[in-house]
Amino acid sequence: MSQSPLALRAEIAALLPRLRRFARSVTHHREDADDLVQIAVERALKHLDHWQDGTRLDSWLFRIMKNAWIDEVRARGRRDEVLAPEEAGEHVGHSETGSRDIRLSIEKAMAHLPEEQRIAVSLVLVEGLPYKEAAEVLDIPIGTLTSRLARGRDALQAMLGDGDLTP
């Protein structure tokens, strides 16, 4: 170990809440999400030397998570348990009974998105990554990213209705 990993480890530790949030929105399952973060952090620690100067640590970790999700976690995931059949209808619009319902509606709507749209929406709208960073995480051109974002947003708006989304 040629240099101290102290600050890098601290930064990874500090990012854990955001990694868990990203995992939750991608896997829409609590245990899958934590499995995913666990695997991604293990991989990151094994390959700390792969992280490049001047690049964002969060983007690097999101990229590892995306790959781990596709390679590994998704295959053995429990995600089928998430949505009961009666919940899998097309319209998951929220009721007026409060922010918790809105939150559940949004999580369900996200779960209905095709995966590539869901990950793009999560990176940009939830995690706030710039387009350039999100495109690099996904290994796609920016045009492809914006197209996925557009389709994902349209689908979410359609599922959630065009009403006032804010609680």
Our CB check for another protein shows the closer of 46 and 76 to be 46
Q: How far is the CB of 165 from another protein (least distance, A)?
A: 4
Q: Which residue has the tokens 């990554």?
A: 129
Percentages helix, strand, coil for the chain, rounded to the nearest 5? 70, 0, 30
Our CB check for another protein shows the closer of 42 and 81 to be 42
In angstroms, rounded to a whole number, what is the distance separating the alpha carbons of residues 74 and 41?
17
Instruction: Give the footprint of another protein on this chain (CB under 8 A).
Output: 1, 3-18, 20-21, 24-25, 34, 37-38, 41-42, 45, 51, 53-54, 56-58, 99, 102-103, 106-107, 110, 121, 124-126, 130-131, 146, 149-150, 153-154, 156-157, 160, 162, 164-167
Q: How far is the CB of 131 from another protein (least distance, A)?
A: 5
Q: How far is the CB of 74 from another protein (least distance, A)?
A: 19
Burial 6-35 (b: 16+ CB within 10 A, else e): eeeeeebeebeebbeebbbbbbbbeebbeb
Q: CB atoms < 10 A from the CB of 115, how many? A: 11
Q: How far is the CB of 57 from another protein (least distance, A)?
A: 7
Our CB check for another protein shows the closer of 71 and 103 to be 103
Q: CB atoms < 10 A from the CB of 118, how many? A: 22
Our CB check for another protein shows the closer of 67 and 131 to be 131
